[in-house]
Structure 1
Amino acid sequence: MAARNTIERQWGRKQEMSKLVDNLLGKLGQLKRKVMTDTETNNAIPIESSGNAGAKEEIGDSKGNKPAVAADKNVRKQGRPRRKNPKAKTKATGATAQKDTAKKSQKQQKESMAAKSEKDTKKIEKEPVIKLLINAEEPEECRIALIEDGRVESFHVTTVVHEQTKGNIYKGRVTAIEPNLQVAFVDIGTGKNGFLPFSEIHPEYYTSDKAALKHWKDLNIQDVIKKGQEMLVQVVKEAAGTKGASVTTYLSLPGRFLVVMPGSDSHGISRKLEDEEERAKLRTMMSSLSIPEGIGYIIRTASKDITKTSLNKDLGYLLRLWNETKKRGQAVPSPALIYKDQNIIAKVLRDYYTPDIQEILVDTQESQKQVMDFLKLLPTKQRKTTVRLHQGSRPIFNQYAVEDQIEQIYQPVVKLPSGGSIVINPTEALVAIDVNSGRTAKDKNFNETIFLVNMEAATELARQLRLRDLGGLIVVDFIDMRNARHIREVEKEVKASMKRDRAKVDISRISKFGLMQISRQKLGRPIEMGSYHVCEYCQGRGVTRSVETQSLSYLRRIQTGVAHNNVVGARCRMPVKVAQYLLNNKREELLEMEKNYGAQIRIEPAPEMTPADHTIEFIKAENGSDK
């Protein structure tokens, strides 16, 4: 009985537990459904009905009731996106389009105003006034200056005493061969033998047929030419000092548009003609012309926009000139001048004339005719220059304020706008240019001041090299700069300024010592060499010995001379100041010499003597007897 009661109690408890679990599961199910309904409500997205684009999908609770307004508000509060209104979208799109149109209009207006401003600025900025002045009034000297806005940019001069020989063709004769130097010396009839390197000897002058088949680098000069051999040579570098002119057997005849090279098969175009379309056009024009075999050519910069007719005329003239030169070279004995390059006026017009020159002013009718004849040969497009004969009371160079600028060319110091300067010193080996800061160094901003002076020097040194025609190796000592950007800017300025130079130029970077090396082709004799002589006092050194130093040097020589046994006297002729110093300050020493050596010493002042001149004559005893 007790066991039965126990079982019933346990069964009742199980029933209660089962009901309790069912209730809990029911409540959990309701809670789960409620949570799922709330989640769907929050994540609901409005769907456009196919019948009405503006209708909303109704959202109900778990019992199917209609949604309350508060529910919609809750959805919006929780970030539900609003339904897009097409009309509002259209209005917004229209407003945006209007804004874009307004911005575009403002941008176009600004661009238009900027273009107009730039156009007005260009109108205000005048083109540079370029003139060519030719001063040939005096027969001994002819000077030509190219001025741009009153500033001399190019200067050329020739004198009767120092006529230029560069470009001349001579019939020469080999006088000596130097195997060690691999050069030959050629007598061209100018007083100094021409210097002919082996690399400048054309194979047509090789005496051996086998030698002509080999490259010149595999040969020796003594194996291919011989002493006494005649050849046509052309001067490529003027004689300087004790050195004779440098010559070559590779001849060239320059014209206005072409350079003809007999004995060559190379064809080229000036590097300054950079437009590929223009270069292709010139190549096509030249290929259509009749050019004899063995004649090379170079198309010059002046050929830009040239016509085929003008190019053909220039070619025909140069070919006729070469035939005449060749015939004369075969007829006359050596040494002789076969072809003389054009005079300075024709040469400058040929090499430097551009249509940018508005006016050419001359001071003689002969020069005017020569200029007019030159312009007639040019195409109509390049014939825009006015030629005028100067007839003023003042000389032409004074009238246009050029004379003072030319005098500055001969001075070693050139002032810069900021107060600094450059000092130019040509030497036998190189040209040294020193940049000085001057009074600008007192400025507070030291680095910027130094940069300014170096930039001005970079521009001016390029101009001075052109004006003075200085070539060879040039070393520029800039003021030390600490800023790497400043150094690069100065290098760029030098290269940009050198672009105007006709000569070939090679420029190095500025070293850590502030030095820049420039190699410049020598186009002719330096200006000062054509107009100046070596100083008879200092012999080109720039300094002379002091009176005291000279006097003591002569005194020692006198003592050495009278010390010989057979010398009984000395007769000395010296500059006045040196003689006065010896007689006034060294009289006791002279008297002591006379007493010790038994010789009579005579000092004579010579007013005509230069400081470096003197003569000391020692008088020997008769019959060579001792004192």
Structure 2
Amino acid sequence: MPGEEAFAEINPPAKKSGRRPARPRRKKSEAVSPAEEIAAEGITDSAVSEVPEHPEAVVEKAATLDQVGEKVKRPSRSRGRRKPAPENIDIQDEEKSQGQELSEVVAEKAAIPDQVVEKAKRPSRSRGRRKPAQENIDIQDEENDEVPDVEDEKVVKGTISRLLINAEEPEECRIALLEDGRLESLHVSTVAKEHTKSNIYKARIVAVESNLQAAFIDYGTEKNGFLPFSEIHPEYYRQDVSEKTLKLIEQHQWKNLNINEVLERGQEMLVQVVKEEVGNKGANMTTYLSLPGRCVVLMPGSDSAGISRKISGEERRSQLREIMDSLEIPEGIGWIVRTASFDLTEGSLAKDVKYLLKLWGEIKGKGQAMDGVGLVYQDQDCVLRFLREHFDPEIKEILVDDLAAMEKVRDFIEMLPDKQRNTKVRLHKGARPIFNQYNVEDQIESIYQPQVFLPSGGSIVIDPTEALVAIDVNSGSTGKGQNFEDSIFKANMEAATELARQLRLRDLGGLIVVDFIDMRSQKNIREVERQVKVAMKRDKAKVDISRISKFGLMQISRQKLGAPVEALNYQVCPHCIGRGVVRSVETLALFYLRRMQTGASRKMVGRVECRFPLDVAHYLLNNKRHELIDLENRHKISVDIIADPALKPADHEIIFHKGETDRQVKES
């Protein structure tokens, strides 16, 4: 889908002299690295697997061999007990799959001479119990922990694509992409959760932490932003640095610099939001600004130039380089040609560049004139932002339920070249809400449920936690009447496709651990890994996928593009504080009874006044009446229990009145 960019590598930057070096230069004929595209364009691709920590970093791609095959020779049959027929069948399948892998490896050996193909003989069969074939597979998995790329694999899309925009209510804007009626992408923007990603602010450094090699900045919001040293442009370095520090700067030895030597509190700078605030964590910022357009991204403060890898054909890439070189782009401003430019004319590119240069001039002027910190540039609204990043000419129809939003969509379509204007834009006038009309509401509601059912009767259970996202695959009724291994393989294949879709829809990021159902066949394991890789190719986030381990676990690292969809529409439960469980009535009643006993043992307590939730108060009065009477008699006090239906399960109030002076000690 356009907007999902992946770029070629950057050559090492050339050395430049001077006290305030600009970002390392790069020949404009070279393509840009995935990392620079991520920082500049705010987009990612599943094919990108490395992000350099600083401008001088060079992305090195190492050819890796998918798996080392083992040539297996069956030993002679021993005189021991004959093994059951199903086990022999499994082993034959195992050897067949291993032989196929060996032939593939040998075929690749000519193209990759640095790789080593290991040949191993299976040890002779002992008279003891035969170990399952999975043990050999586990050893191979540990030797190569990466799933091979599947760049040649085409992602299957639906034949009918429809984009629905629900912008009728000012508090919330929802955009859904359907393929053959199935929800494939969802974007939600609410007034309560303001979108700040890609916004540009004037900020001031409030703290410099050498142990973190980062600075905390005030940019006009409640929480300070987090600015890593690797995201600070050299133009913001102090002038009065030592000769040693200056030499390191001139040699681009960024990792050897100490942030305290080049930055100080009170410095002002322009910063851009890379990742929004999540929970108690502030936003991640960068000083390497980027201004994305529909077909070009401009990067002020950089001389980098690149073209999307997804624009194939050297002839077309050369044409785009010549067009961009002919445009009047000032020195010190880099550019990236996006995938959407694959069939654009010189006039369209020039128009986009002209608009972005004018925008940069306005941002720079406003930042220089602004006193203090605050917002300098706000990214486009949710409708135009979604179209800029996700629009695909294959979308047949766009339906909008708001007249103002429809005009924005039409203006956007009019700016596209003639070849990309086939999409129809219509205003939804039906009596039913637009999402109900096309059966989208039920699909959206399923996003907020932990269990997702698979076509053949299985299911996956998604459980996000603070540390990671756990996904469990259950076979359910999959493959009833079929071979056990085949039914398990079918459930895992369906789960591989669905989990990729759910990660996109729910916008879950960080570490994801998938617990697949255990499989014996190495061929099936490799097919499931490949299916996950293919399904993830549609994801705009950067994704790294490991092989399935000997425990049946696959680890996936997915870049967090923003807060999960659930966080935009749900709030923490006030009763359980997000834990999902509350104490039982019996446990709470005993806990409060002990608190009363402890407080009553103090001297000068004359009366205990308690206010409990309704069910807890009823339990104490009905089931613990004898204990309450014993408490009153033993300490010569009175105990008053009030049932308050307005209290939450864990809320309570216990007041100890002291003797005749009626002094109070309140516990809650």
Unaligned stretches of 5+ in structure 2? 1-155
State the Cα deviation string for residues 16-49 of structure 1 (Å, max 9, x = none).
xxxxxxxxxxxxxxxxxxxxxxxxxxxxxxxxxx
C-alpha separation between the residues in 1 aligned to 2:633 and 2:576?
A: 36
The correspondence for 2:588, drawn from 550, 555, 558, is 550
Is 2:484 the counterpart of 1:446? yes
C-alpha separation between the residues in 2 aligned to 1:274 and 1:343?
A: 32
Equivalent residues of 2:479, 2:490 under 8 A apart: no
Equivalent residues of 2:606, 2:660 under 8 A apart: no
C-alpha separation between the residues in 2 aligned to 1:621 and 1:323?
A: 76
The correspondence for 1:342, drawn from 359, 380, 393, is 380
CA pair 612-301 structure 1, distance change in 2 beyond 3 A: farther
Q: Give the corresponding residue for 2:553.
A: 515
The correspondence for 1:505, drawn from 533, 536, 543, is 543
Offset, 1:348: 0.5
Q: Give the corresponding residue for 1:147.
A: 178
The correspondence for 1:165, drawn from 196, 205, 208, is 196
C-alpha separation between the residues in 1 aligned to 2:397 and 2:664?
A: 82
The aligned amino acid for 2:418 is T
CA pair 623-208 structure 1, distance change in 2 beyond 3 A: farther
C-alpha separation between the residues in 2 aligned to 1:598 and 1:220?
A: 69
The correspondence for 1:525, drawn from 551, 563, 570, is 563
C-alpha separation between the residues in 2 aligned to 1:173 and 1:615?
A: 46
CA pair 621-324 structure 1, distance change in 2 beyond 3 A: farther
C-alpha separation between the residues in 1 aligned to 2:158 and 2:215?
A: 52
Equivalent residues of 2:478, 2:490 under 8 A apart: no
Equivalent residues of 2:657, 2:663 under 8 A apart: no
The correspondence for 1:351, drawn from 366, 385, 389, is 389
Is 2:534 the counterpart of 1:496? yes
Is 2:577 the counterpart of 1:539? yes
Is 2:302 the counterpart of 1:264? yes
3-state SS in 2 of match to 1:290: coil
The correspondence for 2:420, drawn from 379, 382, 399, is 382
Q: Which has the larger radius of gyration?
A: 1
Equivalent residues of 2:459, 2:474 under 8 A apart: yes
The aligned amino acid for 1:174 is I
Task: Give the alignment's TM-score, normalised by structure 1.
Answer: 0.77
3-state SS in 2 of match to 1:334: coil
Is 2:509 the counterpart of 1:459? no
CA pair 546-264 structure 1, distance change in 2 beyond 3 A: same
Offset, 1:200: 1.6
CA pair 599-299 structure 1, distance change in 2 beyond 3 A: farther
Identity, % of aligned positions: 64
The correspondence for 1:197, drawn from 222, 228, 236, is 228
State the Cα deviation string for residues 376-419 of structure 1 (Å, max 9, x = none).
21111111111111111111111111111111111111110010
Offset, 1:174: 2.1
CA pair 575-490 structure 1, distance change in 2 beyond 3 A: same
Equivalent residues of 1:566, 1:624 under 8 A apart: no
Offset, 1:209: 4.8
- Matches for 1:97-176 after TM superposition, within 5 Å: 128-176=159-207
C-alpha separation between the residues in 2 aligned to 1:174 and 1:617?
A: 48
Q: Greater helix percent: which structure?
A: 1
Q: Give the corresponding residue for 1:296.
A: 334
Equivalent residues of 2:657, 2:664 under 8 A apart: no
3-state SS in 2 of match to 1:530: helix
Is 2:269 the counterpart of 1:238? no
C-alpha separation between the residues in 2 aligned to 1:516 and 1:126?
A: 25
Equivalent residues of 1:164, 1:525 under 8 A apart: no
C-alpha separation between the residues in 2 aligned to 1:138 and 1:163?
A: 16
3-state SS in 2 of match to 1:473: strand
Offset, 1:442: 4.7
- Matches for 1:36-115 after TM superposition, within 5 Å: none
3-state SS in 2 of match to 1:440: coil
Is 2:500 the counterpart of 1:469? no
Offset, 1:422: 0.7
State the Cα deviation string for residues 509-531 of structure 1 (Å, max 9, x = none).
11111111111122222111111
C-alpha separation between the residues in 2 aligned to 1:539 and 1:467?
A: 25
Equivalent residues of 1:566, 1:625 under 8 A apart: no
Equivalent residues of 1:195, 1:247 under 8 A apart: yes
The correspondence for 1:318, drawn from 356, 373, 394, is 356
3-state SS in 2 of match to 1:439: coil
The aligned amino acid for 2:297 is V
The correspondence for 2:466, drawn from 428, 445, 455, is 428
The aligned amino acid for 2:217 is V
Offset, 1:274: 4.2
Offset, 1:266: 1.8
CA pair 357-582 structure 1, distance change in 2 beyond 3 A: same
Offset, 1:128: 0.5
C-alpha separation between the residues in 2 aligned to 1:223 and 1:443?
A: 71
Higher relative contact order structure (alpha carbons within 8 Å, sequence separation ≥ 6): 2
3-state SS in 1 of match to 2:650: coil
Q: Give the corresponding residue for 2:238.
A: 207
Offset, 1:156: 0.4
Offset, 1:176: 2.5
The aligned amino acid for 1:487 is I
The correspondence for 2:216, drawn from 159, 171, 185, is 185
CA pair 452-294 structure 1, distance change in 2 beyond 3 A: same
Offset, 1:127: 7.2
Q: Give the corresponding residue for 1:579.
A: 617
Q: Give the corresponding residue for 1:49.
A: none
Aligned residues, how many? 503
